[in-house]
Every structure is written in C-alpha cells, then in structure tokens.
Amino acid sequence: MKKELLMASALVSTLGVASVAQAVTATMAGSMKVGAEFESADDLATDSNQVHDQSNFNISLSETTDGGTTISTSFEIVDEGTVDADDDNAIKLTFTDGSALELLNAGNAASTHVAAVPGAGGEQGVGGTSTQNAPGDLDFGAASTALGVEWHSAADFLADGLKMSASFSTDNGLAKAAIARTENSWGVGATYVTSAGDTALTISGGVSDSETATNATQASSDKNGFHVGVVAVTGDLTIGAGYGDGDTFVDTNEANTEIDGSVMKAGIKYVTGDLTMALGVSAGEGKEGAFGTPGTTDDSVDSTSASVTYAVASGVSAVIGYTTVDAQNAGVSSTDDGSSWYIGASMSF
C-alpha cells in the first residue's frame, strides 16, 4: 500500500510539473470586417457587387527562460468566406542582448524590411479574368521554404538606429515536379531610423535570391530581387515611397511562367482628430515568358486608391474607399481595368 501511495504522489507531482511547464503566457488579438464592394470593370458588360465578411483571430504564445531568453510563436485563423488556419509560424528566440533567431517557417529577411508605404483602407479592387502578371508588392522577388532560419540584430546594430536581418532556407525534400517551386533561398535586409528636424525618417531595403526547381525546363532567372523605400513622419502626416525590381514565376502545372518585373509604390496619410485620410498609387510592369526564355510580353497594372476612415469608438472604425485600375495584358487593355467602391466597418481587439 505504501508503494502505491508513493507512486500516486509521484504521478501527481509529475502532472503538476507538466501543467506548470505548459502554462506559457498567451495573448489574443483579432478583428471583424464587414462591408459592401461595388465593382465596375471596363471590359465587362455588367457591374458587380459583393459583401465582404472577414474575421481574423490571432494567438501569441510567449515565455522567458531562467537565462532570460524569450521563446515565442503565434498562430492565426482567418475567415474570408472559408476558414484558413495560418501554419507559417516560426519558433522565435529573443536573447538578452535584443537579437533574435527564428526557426522553421522563418520567411525571407528581405521581406522583413519592406517599407511601410501608406495606402488606402478598405477591401476594394477590380477582379477581372486577365492573366497579366505585373507585380504589385515591393518584395515580389523574395522567396523561402518552410525549412529556414532568420536572424535579427538588436537595435542600434553597428550604428544608432540600424537593425538588420539575414535568412536562409533549404530544400523541403520534395521530388522535383512539373510545377515550379522554390528549392532554397537567402535574403538580407536592413532598416535605418533617423530624424531630420521634426521629421522621423525610416529608410529600409533588402536583397534576396533563390533557386527554382522543376523536373523539366529551368527558368532563365531564378526568383530574386531587391527593394528600397523611405517613409517620413511629421506630426500627423506620413509620406512614403518604395521601389522593387527582380524576377519571379507563376507555378501553374506544365505551363510555368517567369516574369521579369518592377514596381513603384507611393502614398500619403493624414490624421486629424478621428479622421484618417489616405491616398496610394502603385505602378507595376512585367515581361513574361515561358520557362527558359527571357520575358518579351509586356504586362502592366497602375492603380490609384483613396480612403477616409472614421474612428467611431475605441476599436470601431468606418471606412469608405475607392480604387481605379488601368491594366495591360500582353500590351492590350485587360479585364482588370476599371474602378471599385467600398463602404464598411471594422471592429478589433
């Protein structure tokens, strides 16, 4: 009987220790967006409208060891008509000197340092049936695989106001297939924060490269690129601009397409009381072609977006947004041309 009591005590003690070990600090955040969008595509006979119902729920987990190292990760559930669990979540180790290391699903360091160019709020856009492939994001040339790591420096690395990151990812172990995919990648990025009088300046940039794998024709240029940007904040006014250039690909079965492209983005945002007014422009160009052949077909997409957001209450906002798009597919006006309105509200916590 004494042995049974000792075993029971040991089991309870073990379970108690296990319970404590699992009690990491958890924080929650999320949002709900509901609004109506009205689209008018120039090359389509009829206008369209739809209701956007989007929810987002994020859980962040964190704990600090006795040695001062913080271990953290997070996951996100996004509902945009269908539930999508975001599983691209790295394990992040933050050390006592302020540097950090992300393990698995770490991403590309070039993307970490993309300029936060102001842009319009709302969910408006023109959704045509064109196959134009002009890029829209500054870091369109950055790539990574799930088996990767990313290092982040502490603040004021080498110089006051400077932070840097570097990343590497490698083969995910899958056999090469007809569908193009990233086999390995590397990236480097940096952000420098300084001031000029009453203006806070943030200068950022990144460069990346990768290898594209298929079991047939290889791309003439693997996915790669660079981007630079600057954002200036003076009081309630924010102005920013960025430029990206590089190569990417579209991985459709047996019809892979490579794109040599560039994109420019600029925007301005002004906050006055409960109102936020924003204006953004984007111009992307791309030459697309079959794998193994440098692109010769010209695609482009130019867009201008504006919005007014009103803070109704704490965590509650109403927004009206407008976007106009001029797109070319192989040098010909595409079904992505047109304009779009959006009116909606969001609640966040």
**Run of H or E residues at 14:** helix 2-21
Which residue type occupies 273?
G
- Rounded Cα distance, 111 and 311, in Å: 30
Residue 290 — pLDDT band, cuts 50, 70, 90?
A: confident
- Is residue 296 over pLDDT 50? yes
Residue that wins the pLDDT comparison between 234 and 50: 234
- Per-residue pLDDT tens over the stretch 92-115: 999 999 999 999 889 999 999 999
- Per-residue pLDDT tens over the stretch 210-227: 988 888 777 778 899 999
Residue 329 — pLDDT band, cuts 50, 70, 90?
A: confident
- Give φ, ψ of 249 to 5 degrees: -150, 160
- Per-residue pLDDT tens over the stretch 9-27: 443 343 344 444 567 899 9
What are the sequence ranges of the domains in the chain? 28-348
- Is residue 334 over pLDDT 70? no
Structure confidence at residue 134 (pLDDT)? 85
> What token pair was written down for 212?
């594209």
Considering the segment(s) 28-348 as one domain, its CATH architecture is Beta Barrel (2.40)
Structure confidence at residue 294 (pLDDT)? 75
Bridging pattern class, strands 148-152 and 237-250 = unpaired
Structure confidence at residue 74 (pLDDT)? 87
Structure confidence at residue 88 (pLDDT)? 56
Among the residue ranges 61-75, 119-133, 276-290, the one predicted with the least confidence is: 119-133
- Rounded Cα distance, 324 and 42, in Å: 11
- Is residue 83 over pLDDT 60? no
- Give φ, ψ of 206 to 5 degrees: -165, 155
Q: Are 84 and 78 in contact (CB under 8 A)?
A: yes
Residues 6 or more apart whose CB falls under 8 angstroms from that of 148 comprise 104, 105, 106, 107, 167, 168, 169, 170, 185
pTM exceeds 0.85 for this model: no
> What token pair was written down for 62?
């964190």
Structure confidence at residue 135 (pLDDT)? 87
Number of separate helices (H) and strands (E) present in the chain:
2, 18
- Is residue 173 over pLDDT 50? yes
> What token pair was written down for 215?
């079991």
111 vs 115, 134, 138, 141, CA distance in Å?
A: 9, 19, 9, 9
- pLDDT above 70 covers a percentage of the chain that reads 85
- pLDDT above 90 covers a percentage of the chain that reads 52
Structure confidence at residue 174 (pLDDT)? 73
